[in-house]
């Protein structure tokens, strides 16, 4: 945190322009903005709500419970992510996410972040080399499950979201964890879905509370986080037990990611945390992109999408 005169000196040394746009608010500490976000989240209208922020100006000041900024200015984004990367830290995000995710790219800074990021980068490079064939059985499962749901539905309308979540979870666990999520009993899979959805929802609220994240820990949150962690520990333990029994080389063939994590961490809980970071990175993001792709694909009616192999492969 800089003093005002230091702030000014820093700004003039780096040619920073003042941030003129401020998000208007009515309640003290801009609590009305927080409340509107709070309402938009369960109503699934967050994107719509936040788009209005972005439309105000490329960079705006937002004074909810303290000063913050939102920017869509490409120059600022480039500075944060590349040219001035070392000047920025995660800030209060760690506080909001640590209970659910533990240590990994989304909660770390500095050398710890670089270490986690490098291990993930190696794995993504490996997956790129493997090509798309590994996705085929999961695409087949997705198509089958949507077709079944359509047959069973009285209206013929299918909510695709749970099917996409199941698909992205299956690809993440199979390709990265070396063990498909579908190998778990249905009750465990349902429990993971409920725990993960609830824990992510509460974490999203905690992120918005910034420094005050600690005040919001509803009953059930810790329990849900524990459930998610146990789920990830299952995959970590399975691979590492296999490694202890059969040796590193044999284990690397099936559990390359987890063995690589082990070599970099030598701690089962830290390995588990890394799996959770990949889970949060890959599940909802990719599932939402799939939904959006179907929504904007002109050849598909938005009301009755026909999900076919050719749709999926284009």
Contact set with ligand HEM (CB under 6 A): 105-106, 117, 120, 172, 278, 281-282, 285-286, 289
Work out how close the CB of 257 gets to ligand HEM at its nearest, in angstroms, rounded to a whole number. Answer: 10
Residue pair 176/123 in contact by the 8 Å Cβ criterion: yes
- Which CB, 9 or 89, lies closer to ligand HEM? 89
Residue with tokens 């701690």: 267
| Chain centroid offset of residue 48 CA | 19
- Which CB, 173 or 195, lies closer to ligand HEM? 173
Structure tokens at 52: 């209005």
Structure tokens at 83: 């040219």
- Which CB, 150 or 291, lies closer to ligand HEM? 291
Going from the C-alpha of 161 to that of each of 119, 142, 167, the distances in angstroms are: 30, 11, 10
Work out how close the CB of 281 gets to ligand HEM at its nearest, in angstroms, rounded to a whole number. Answer: 3
Work out how close the CB of 287 gets to ligand HEM at its nearest, in angstroms, rounded to a whole number. Answer: 8
Work out how close the CB of 172 gets to ligand HEM at its nearest, in angstroms, rounded to a whole number. Answer: 6
- Which CB, 162 or 220, lies closer to ligand HEM? 162
Work out how close the CB of 4 gets to ligand HEM at its nearest, in angstroms, rounded to a whole number. Answer: 28
Sequence-distant (6+) residues with CB within 8 A of 262 are: 240, 243, 271
Tell me 27's DSSP state: S
- Which CB, 27 or 124, lies closer to ligand HEM? 124
Work out how close the CB of 117 gets to ligand HEM at its nearest, in angstroms, rounded to a whole number. Answer: 5
Residue pair 64/29 in contact by the 8 Å Cβ criterion: yes
- Which CB, 230 or 286, lies closer to ligand HEM? 286
CA distance 61 to 23: 6
CA distance 148 to 107: 40
């Amino acid at each position: 945190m800089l003093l005002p005169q230091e702030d000014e000196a820093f700004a003039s040394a780096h040619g920073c322009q003042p941030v003129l746009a401020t998000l208007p608010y009515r309640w003290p500490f801009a609590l009305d903005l927080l409340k509107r976000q709070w309402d938009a989240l369960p109503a699934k209208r967050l994107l719509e709500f936040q788009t209005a922020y972005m439309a105000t100006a490329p960079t705006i000041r937002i004074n909810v419970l303290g000063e913050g900024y939102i920017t869509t200015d490409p120059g600022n984004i480039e500075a944060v992510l590349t040219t001035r990367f070392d000047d920025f830290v995660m800030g209060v995000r760690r506080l909001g996410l640590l209970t659910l995710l533990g240590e990994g790219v989304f909660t770390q800074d500095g050398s710890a972040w670089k270490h986690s990021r490098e291990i993930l980068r190696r794995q993504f490079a490996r997956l790129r080399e493997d090509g798309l064939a590994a996705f085929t059985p999961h695409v087949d499962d997705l198509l089958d499950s949507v077709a079944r749901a359509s047959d069973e539905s009285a209206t013929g309308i299918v909510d695709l979201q749970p099917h996409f979540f199941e698909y992205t979870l299956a690809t993440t666990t199979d390709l990265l964890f070396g063990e498909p999520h579908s190998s778990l009993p249905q009750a465990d899979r349902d429990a993971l879905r409920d725990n993960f959805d609830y824990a992510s929802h509460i974490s999203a609220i905690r992120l918005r509370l910034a420094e005050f994240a600690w005040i919001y820990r509803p009953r059930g949150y810790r329990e849900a986080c524990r459930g998610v962690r146990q789920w990830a520990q299952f995959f970590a333990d399975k691979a590492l037990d296999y490694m202890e029994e059969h040796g590193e080389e044999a284990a690397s063939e099936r559990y390359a990611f987890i063995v690589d994590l082990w070599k970099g961490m030598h701690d089962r809980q830290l390995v588990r945390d890394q799996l959770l970071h990949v889970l949060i990175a890959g599940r909802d993001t990719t599932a939402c992109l799939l939904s959006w792709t179907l929504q904007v694909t002109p050849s598909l009616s938005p009301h009755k999408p026909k999900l076919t192999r050719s749709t999926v492969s284009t």
